[in-house]
Chain A
């Protein structure tokens, strides 16, 4: 060894002092880095800022702030929205994976329990006869119904999305115009986002090996069209528009109604606003 001639005590002292200095520097660096990183790690993440290589020409995502409204008092549970979404967005043809779904809440006379089902319920699938078309079975026709209503559900495109926070690669992100999207070319398929979403809005596409969910039909809205589910709704239970435009359907919907969001306690700050839902809905 080259340092053999050095007295061992001095060498040890030198080593320890170097180690001490290194530890101090590392500690300082980690501390500084932590201070810088902490705001970013918080759930309150910022949306993507750069328009970059946007596929639709003449679309400026900094000029819009999309929002979605659901008037549950209008929904008749026809499920046209669910079928339209499946076709428009190439959602797997089965009764277990949806970008949007409709829930039915039924209160029966002398029964304190609320009965909830959705189009995927085996009884409803049996009534529709296939997993391509969806119907709500008339299962309560012989019962005395106190109260019943439908609630359309979809991704809430939260301002502080838990799914975006946990994505290890950044494949899922929030756009400048307020839509949460997934880059299917970058998603590794770990499904952490599926677990993190408190609304059950995400599913895993086994064939593509990636997570998937509602995009508010981003390919349509950036061309000035409505999302497919809004387009086909026969009763206007689904409302969509630009919150930056004070006269848009969504702005009027929010202004003219007492709206609420699902699970506000999560801090996710959803951007799907509901009217006419009951205490059991979450």
Chain B
């Protein structure tokens, strides 16, 4: 029989109970998904609230992406719990001192907000489909109209006001949600690798670049699938957004690391041994060099040279993929890396990622891809394409 518990090999001195990794890859997937939600919502807000007209082609796609990923955010947590059937204990009887207890409320509020904003944004389309279709789907759309068929200019003005208000509320909600995820790690004083005041903002900015990158990739892929030309102005807008935020993200991460090294508190020797040893490749090479610096330089070059056409599409898509990878590595290096450095400050552990099993790589990959399947379904029901004539885009 396979043992229930997998013990981690270690070097140096670690507390006996630390030899079991308690937070697995799923806990790295959780902030990754949350970050994509916040980042995608940022794009939607840039259009809805700040009037970035060039992002119009992805504005509705951003909303749907945000919703699809948000629905799957709790799944890695639920799979990880020892008693998932008790999950609602933290919502029914929340312990107010716990950062984690508030998750249920933040998440529910945000899902409700996304659904409401989506409903307003898609109302003209829903009404049109409800009136046109006579099949089962027609019934579905009629149900979704909630009895309101008024699509007059007056009603539309009212809707736009709501969309604007919801998008405004959504900005602190989405970013608060993700900043709070960073706080969950940053507020733990037991681990030097986590315990940092910068952690919430680091999470936030990496979230933004990941979400915007995801949208860039989704947009290009959707254009290819739909055999339409990519709106280069829109793609450039996304590239600018990634470029601007990636610099902030890099500076923050650099500051965080510099703080740890410069303060040189107890246990820093072990951290240095760790980052120059086992973490060298995942941290400096994969997360920074390949995932962040390369796209930053590439994007800078394209902006400087005024690259356009296919080179721009390929360049931005490749950069976006690298950023998506980098942000996942960042989550991995925080969650798994934090646990690989012993609380004793005198030893290192080695996490082994199983491929199969409840908390294995396969489940992690499936959970990361599942929102895309949902998104595919949602785009069928609610086409987010601005060029689509069937869709009265707001």
Contacts and interface: CB of A to CB of B under 8 A. Distances in A.
Interface string A6-37: 00100010010001000000000000000001
Given A168-B94, A168-B100, A198-B343, A207 B16 contact: no
Given A40-B96, A119-B16, A166-B98, A197 B82 contact: no
B191 A195 contact: yes
A59 to B, nearest CB: 25
B207 to A, nearest CB: 21
Interface stretch (A139-147, A185-193, A240-248): A185-193
A45 interface: yes
A26 to B, nearest CB: 11
Interface in A167-189: 167-171, 186-189
B97 A41 contact: yes
A165 B98 contact: yes
A8 B16 contact: no
B97 A166 contact: yes
A34 to B, nearest CB: 11
Contacts, number: 156
Given A162-B189, A197-B190, A96 B98 contact: no
Given A209-B82, A282-B345, A98 B17 contact: yes
Interface of A, secondary structure class, is loop
A200 B16 contact: yes
B350 interface: no
A266 interface: yes
A201 interface: yes
A78 interface: no
A136 interface: no
Interface residues of A, number: 62
A136 to B, nearest CB: 13
Given A189-B83, A190-B100, A282-B344, A98 B16 contact: yes
Contacts of B5: 92, 94, 96-97, 206
Contact of B83 (A94, A197, A209): A209
B3 to A, nearest CB: 9
Contact of B344 (A165, A169, A200): A200
Q: Which of A97, A116, A166 has the most CB of B within 10 A?
A: A166
A190 B190 contact: no
B164 to A, nearest CB: 11
A155 B16 CA distance: 13
B89 A169 contact: yes
A211 B81 CA distance: 11
A135 to B, nearest CB: 15
Contacts of B103: 168
A230 interface: no
Nearest to A37: B96
Given A117-B13, A191-B23, A169 B93 contact: yes
Q: Which of A45, A171, A210 has the most CB of B within 10 A?
A: A171
Given A188-B83, A192-B98, A202 B188 contact: no
Interface residues of B, number: 51
Contact of B154 (A1, A187, A202): A1
A4 B154 contact: yes
Contact of A200 (B7, B17, B101, B189): B17
A198 B165 CA distance: 44
A92 B20 CA distance: 13
Contacts of B155: 1
A198 B13 contact: no
A251 interface: no
B139 interface: no
Nearest to A92: B5
B231 interface: no
A27 to B, nearest CB: 13
Contact of B15 (A8, A119, A200): A200
B15 A169 contact: no
Interface string B65-109: 000000000000100111110110110011111111101000000
Contacts of A8: 154, 157
A96 B17 contact: yes
B19 interface: yes
A21 to B, nearest CB: 14
Contacts of B14: 200
A203 interface: yes
Contacts of B20: 96-97, 203-204
A57 interface: no
Nearest to A43: B97
B346 interface: yes
A166 B194 CA distance: 15
A167 B96 CA distance: 9
A199 B98 contact: no
B161 interface: yes
A190 B188 contact: no
A215 interface: no
Nearest to A197: B190
A196 B100 CA distance: 12
A166 B99 CA distance: 6
Nearest to B9: A122
11 contacts: A40-B97, A96-B20, A162-B188, A169-B86, A195-B190, A199-B343, A204-B82, A206-B82, A208-B82, A210-B83, A282-B344
The 9 closest A-B pairs by CB, nearest first: A189-B82, A200-B15, A209-B82, A168-B90, A170-B95, A168-B101, A116-B13, A168-B100, A198-B190
Given A40-B97, A41-B96, A192-B98, 6 more contacts: A96-B17, A116-B346, A120-B19, A187-B83, A200-B17, A206-B5
Interface of A: 1, 4, 8, 12, 15, 19, 37, 40-43, 45, 92, 94-98, 101, 116-120, 153, 162, 164-171, 186-192, 194-211, 266-267, 282
